[in-house]
Chain A
Amino acid sequence: MIEVKNVTKKYGKLLANDSLSFTVRPGEISILAGPNGAGKSTIIKSIAGLLRFQGEILICGKKNKSLEAKRNLGYIPELPALYDMLTIWEHMEFIARAYSLENWKERAENLFRRLELDDKKNKLGSELSKGMQQKISICCGLLPSPKVLLFDEPLVGLDPHAIKELKNMLVEYKQQGTAVLLSTHMLDSVAEFWDSTNIMIKGKIAASRSREEIIGTGEDLEKLFFEITENNKNTKEEVKE
């Protein structure tokens, strides 16, 4: 479970996140949507414990920077960051060792098989294309089977097979009770499995909805997104006039 309580993050004078509060429950896939520069990556990095912020973030009831929280957390960054001198299988071994995982090999093999990496085990990180690197980054985040998963634009650069497979994995994790927070611009790709969404504009949450709330209203994620962002634009123009 992710609990974000009144989180504010500033980069110098720029207010990237303005008093954000939301929760992602176990077994829930929550989508963070919003235009570029809305502060989505910032809040994800803050939850991952990579940034300083004001407020409180709890992972499974523990402060996000605590070791207990980190054990339950998987983070897949927007840009894959791999080690040039490690093969992709060694990335798995490194993660397994870093998180003190037991019996990880079968899980790693399975991840590799599903993302079609099994014939590239001995390739170095630097030898792979950006898309391949993104797949490894996903494997690194998923290998510890965390209770909380943070994805920052995970679908960018992936081939259609990998996108399909990742979607299946997300649903599986959801069924296993994992809390998933996913930031994306590709709203149609997550339309079939999202449970809740927070649409961010200028560092604030402009709207929050759950799937139950909009069933029968004729709304869908994409419509909702445009409605809110266009409304925001129109309001701004009206103020100007």
Chain B
Amino acid sequence: MKALGYLLLTTLKNRILSLKKKPALLILYLIIGAGIGVMVIVSVRPGIQEPKAYSDIRILYAIIAGIGGVFLYSFVTTGLSTGSTLFTMADVGLLFVAPISSRKILLYGLIKQMATTFLSAIFILYQVQTIRNSFGLGVGAILNLFFIYAVIIFFCQLLSIGIYIFSNGNAERKTLVKLILFGLFAVTALEIYFQYLQNGGTVLQAVFNLMNFKPFYFIPVIGWSVMFMSAFVEGNVIYLSIALLLFLISSIIIISFFTSGEADYYEDVLRSTEIVYNKLQDAKNGKRTASVRRIKIKEEKTGLQGGKGYMSIFYKHILEKKRTSRFVFLDTYTVLAAGGAGLVCYFMNSEYSVYVVLGVLVYIQFFVTVLGKLSDELSKPYIYMIPEKSIKKVVAASMTTLIKPCSDAVIIFTVVCIFSKTSPFLNLFVALAYASSGAIFISYTLLCQRLFGGMPNKLISSMLGLTLFMLVMAPGIGASIAAVLLLPEAFLFLGTFPFTFCCIVISIFIFAVCGDLLDKAEYTGK
């Protein structure tokens, strides 16, 4: 057997055999498989009650177009900065130096990537029942959806590598790629506007009308994927073939570009592979991944601009934030969260949307906070070495993480207030609840570090951490549930206030008790 075939098959075999030693993973796979099986059986079972009317199929097409657009944008952007990779560091170290044709190695990478992509798209099969109920599609159409989703990701990854090889170190080519990308989005926007002018109605209706507009089908990735899906649903073999051919021919062009004499993809994928490897290592060590975005340093904007002793940590954090966002605390997350919250409120059109937004954002905030600046600082020796009291350093290192949810809350809940048409008082108290949950999460991080910082067993520490989390959160949640049950309707906007109050009191208590963290904890460098 040739080396690459051996590598692929042996890797696959060992991966399957390794499940013997990882029964939990095996059970998880079996549950996923069984879950998909049950979903498929339930959806094709005869006698199941059909809904009276299905939703407009164009909604599904618009979702596919949206997914295509997001992947196209993100993978092209990645291609312009670091590129994607089909390889691992082991491939770089062992395969690239081996006497094997680079084309064969590329084929090996493509096969491996294709398998990974198809596996990652499997979650779509879980939606069998929902898609069937909403749009009346059969299993065949859902398999097709699964297929086109995997094709979009795979193609975008190829495109990303191709763009990296084409534009790496060449500013003019980078500009050209950007122009083409924005051109594609501009054409899509113009087509929506054209639909709006021609058919009237809302912008959303114009988007749905676009899904039947044939010229739109020829916009790369976004239009091609809609063409493929709609052709399958409508039984249009010609458009189905055209869509597949467009993906296929473009892929062949990109692959021939990799393997052409001019482009040496080894050198190009090396950096991308290293970046991906470092990201994986960081993730394994529970570290946040460092941004690979190139930051231009302007001389007039350097320096901490203030802070002495423990406060230098805070000013350093402010400077770091300025480097990632011009508006310091208002960043892409703020914009995305505010936009998402606005959309939820607009479409839900109910007072409950405010609570839905609060719940989702608090959930996200937990992960952002736990991996926040304090955890970052504890992974470096400086905070331990600064000759100041531990409590002061801990507070200074937590300050930006405490302020960020406050500034986010102002923006997000102003948007929520406008789109949900709910009372400003309700939004004020919900915003306070959001801001205070930031404080409770950071104090929870502090408590965990203080109690389990040096614990080597991750399973025990995470289980204890979960129990601790429940203990920390329970008083606030319980108090708010009680308040909602007891308060008269006119004062229901105060429902989140007990939660806010408990969060603040518990946070202050934890900070006071665990402020000596740096005198007691051990620096592990992780």
Contacts and interface: CB of A to CB of B under 8 A. Distances in A.
A11 B304 CA distance: 38
Contact of B290 (A48, A50, A90, A126): A126
Interface in A49-68: 49-52, 65, 67-68
Central interface residue in B303, B385, B520, by most chain A CB within 10 Å: B385
Contacts of B299: 122
Given A67-B387, A85-B295, A98-B386, A122 B302 contact: yes
Contacts of B310: 98
Contact of B384 (A12, A49, A94, A100): A49
A89 interface: yes
Interface of A: 11-12, 45, 48-52, 65, 67-68, 70-71, 73, 75, 77, 79, 81, 83-87, 89-90, 93-95, 97-100, 122-124, 126, 140
A81 B379 contact: yes
A194 to B, nearest CB: 25
Given A84-B291, A97-B311, A98-B313, 19 more contacts: A52-B522, A67-B387, A75-B381, A75-B385, A77-B525, A83-B316, A83-B320, A84-B290, A85-B295, A85-B320, A90-B304, A90-B316, A93-B303, A94-B312, A98-B388, A100-B309, A122-B299, A122-B302, A124-B295
23 contacts: A12-B456, A48-B384, A49-B385, A50-B523, A51-B522, A81-B379, A81-B525, A85-B320, A85-B323, A85-B324, A86-B316, A86-B320, A87-B297, A90-B303, A90-B304, A93-B303, A94-B382, A95-B382, A97-B304, A97-B307, A97-B311, A98-B386, A124-B295
Nearest to B323: A85
Contacts of A79: 525
B329 to A, nearest CB: 15
A49 B315 CA distance: 24
Contacts of A65: 519
Nearest to A50: B523
A23 to B, nearest CB: 22
B319 interface: yes
Contacts, number: 93
Central interface residue in A12, A71, A90, by most chain B CB within 10 Å: A90
A122 B378 CA distance: 25
A90 B319 contact: yes
Contacts of A73: 385
Contacts of B323: 85
Contact of A98 (B309, B379, B520): B309
Given A97-B309, A99-B387, A140-B382, A87 B315 contact: no
A198 to B, nearest CB: 22
A99 B386 contact: yes
Interface in B277-308: 290-291, 295, 297, 299, 302-304, 307-308
Contacts of A86: 316, 319-320
Nearest to B377: A83
A76 to B, nearest CB: 10
Interface in B379-403: 379-382, 384-389
Contacts of B319: 85-86, 90
B523 A45 contact: yes
Given A86-B319, A97-B307, A50 B312 contact: no
Interface in B501-526: 519-520, 522-523, 525
Given A94-B316, A97-B315, A122-B297, A83 B380 contact: yes
Of all A-B residue pairs in the complex, the 8 with the closest CB atoms, nearest first, are A97-B312, A50-B523, A70-B387, A85-B320, A71-B387, A84-B290, A81-B380, A98-B386
Interface of B is mostly: loop
Contacts of A83: 316, 320, 380
B499 to A, nearest CB: 33
Contacts of A49: 384-385
Interface string B187-200: 00000000000000
A122 B303 CA distance: 10
Contacts of B311: 97
Contacts of B386: 70, 98-99
A178 B88 CA distance: 47
A73 B385 CA distance: 8
Central interface residue in B291, B310, B525, by most chain A CB within 10 Å: B525
Interface residues of B, number: 38
B304 A94 contact: yes
A51 B522 CA distance: 5
A45 B382 CA distance: 12
A58 B347 CA distance: 65
A93 B389 CA distance: 20
A50 B381 CA distance: 8
Nearest to B519: A65
A52 B295 CA distance: 38
Contact of B381 (A48, A68, A87, A122): A48
A51 B456 CA distance: 14
A46 B87 CA distance: 41
Contacts of A77: 381, 525
A188 to B, nearest CB: 28
Given A85-B323, A97-B315, A122-B297, A50 B309 contact: no
A75 to B, nearest CB: 6
Nearest to B315: A97
A83 B456 CA distance: 26
Interface string B18-43: 00000000000000000000000000
A59 B304 CA distance: 30
Contacts of A123: 297
Contacts of A52: 454, 520, 522
A100 B308 contact: yes
Nearest to A12: B456
Contacts of A12: 456
A157 B122 CA distance: 46
Nearest to B324: A85
Contacts of B324: 85
Contacts of A81: 379-382, 525
Interface string B348-365: 000000000000000000
B297 to A, nearest CB: 4
A58 B365 CA distance: 42
Interface in B223-276: none
A90 B525 contact: no
Contact of A67 (B295, B313, B388, B456): B388
B248 to A, nearest CB: 39
B367 to A, nearest CB: 20
Contacts of B382: 81, 94-95, 98, 140
Interface string B387-421: 11100000000000000000000000000000000
Contacts of B295: 85, 124
